[in-house]
């Protein structure tokens, strides 16, 4: 049981390039989330998904896209990378979002630098 | 709209002393959950403790306890007998039952334990 895994751990992008951040969970969780954490700040929700085929925007979705074709995978796509997207990206999952007590399990994060 | 505020950007505490990290929140939803996460320098997010809005007693988990004052809308984390390994960023977070898919985070408090 690996929990939530993310790849890559670190990536440098040039302005205008695109990339996909991978996230996989093996806990059969329905809900999955993408957050970004800027230096010295808390986490901000980018996108989330309540199940395969269903996604919705969070606080800061601009410049990102997601898809959820399976329960396990929730990739985050960056199109036309900008320096403002330099951040640490965390993927998280939870069994459901239906109970306020449901905690989230986080991946180790992907550090992205856009130059 | 839900909001989390952590007013202490940084704190220094002597080893073995108790420490209180402040968190205030704002919500119009009567049903919500409050979480505390620890983020050490390695970057992972570690769940510490949870408090539900209808819980009659303050939550405790080992050396961690949550001082929940509902009328004041505060959910302070208390760490008893601090240890060097407690040095980390600490984030307060909240989930409203009506928007249970989303957890919002405060900006965090950096706790440093002095030997």
User: Distance (Å, rounded) from C-alpha B57 to C-alpha B96?
Assistant: 19
Res. A1 pLDDT band, cuts 50 70 90: low
Judged by a CB distance cut-off of 8 A, whether residue A34 touches chain B is no
Res. A99 pLDDT band, cuts 50 70 90: low
Quick one: tokens of B12? Answer: 């220094």
* Contact between A41 and B44 using a beta-carbon 8 Å cutoff: no
Residue B79, beta-bridge partner list? B19, B64
- Which residue is listed with tokens 């601090």? B82
Nearest-CA distance A105 → chain B (Å): 8
C-beta of residue A63 within 8 angstroms of C-beta of residue A82? yes
Q: Do strands B109-114 and B10-14 pair parallel, antiparallel, or not at all (unpaired)?
A: parallel
Name the stretches of chain B with pLDDT < 50. Answer: none
Judged by a CB distance cut-off of 8 A, whether residue B36 touches chain A is no
How many other CB atoms are found less than 10 A from the CB of residue A83? 10
How many other CB atoms are found less than 10 A from the CB of residue B115? 6
Which tens digit of pLDDT belongs to each residue from A102-113? 678 899 999 999
**Measured on CA atoms in the order B8, B12, B15, B17, is the torsion positive or negative?**
negative
Which tens digit of pLDDT belongs to each residue from A12-53? 999 999 999 999 999 999 889 999 999 878 899 999 998 999
Quick one: tokens of A41? Answer: 């700040």
Which tens digit of pLDDT belongs to each residue from B55-69? 889 999 999 999 999
Give how far the C-alpha of residue B73 lies from the chain's centroid of Cα atoms, to the nearest Å: 13
The pLDDT of residue A41 is 84
C-beta of residue B63 within 8 angstroms of C-beta of residue B71? no
Percent of chain A with pLDDT over 90: 77
The pLDDT of residue A73 is 97
C-beta of residue B12 within 8 angstroms of C-beta of residue B21? no
Mean pLDDT of chain A: 91
B63 three-class SS: coil
């Amino acid at each position: 049981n690996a929990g939530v895994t993310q790849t890559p751990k670190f990536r440098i992008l040039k302005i205008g390039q695109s990339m996909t951040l991978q996230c996989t969970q093996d806990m059969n969780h329905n809900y999955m989330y993408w957050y970004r954490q800027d230096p010295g700040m808390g986490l901000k929700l980018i996108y989330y998904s309540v199940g395969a085929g269903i996604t919705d925007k969070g606080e800061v979705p601009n410049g990102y896209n997601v898809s959820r074709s399976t329960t396990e995978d929730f990739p985050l796509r960056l199109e036309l990378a900008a320096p403002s997207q330099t951040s640490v990206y965390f993927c998280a999952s939870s069994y459901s979002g239906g109970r306020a007590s449901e905690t989230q399990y986080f991946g180790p994060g992907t550090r992205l630098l856009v130059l | 709209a839900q909001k989390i505020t952590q007013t202490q950007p940084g704190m220094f505490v002597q080893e073995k002393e108790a420490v209180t990290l402040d968190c205030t929140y704002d919500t119009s939803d009567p049903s919500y959950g409050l979480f505390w996460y620890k983020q050490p320098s390695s970057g992972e997010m570690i769940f510490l403790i949870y408090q539900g809005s209808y819980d009659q007693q303050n939550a405790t988990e080992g050396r961690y306890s949550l001082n929940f004052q509902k009328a004041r809308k505060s959910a302070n984390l208390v760490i008893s007998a601090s240890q060097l390994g407690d040095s980390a960023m600490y984030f307060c977070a909240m989930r409203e039952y009506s928007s249970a898919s989303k957890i919002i985070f405060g900006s965090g408090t950096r706790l440093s334990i002095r030997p």
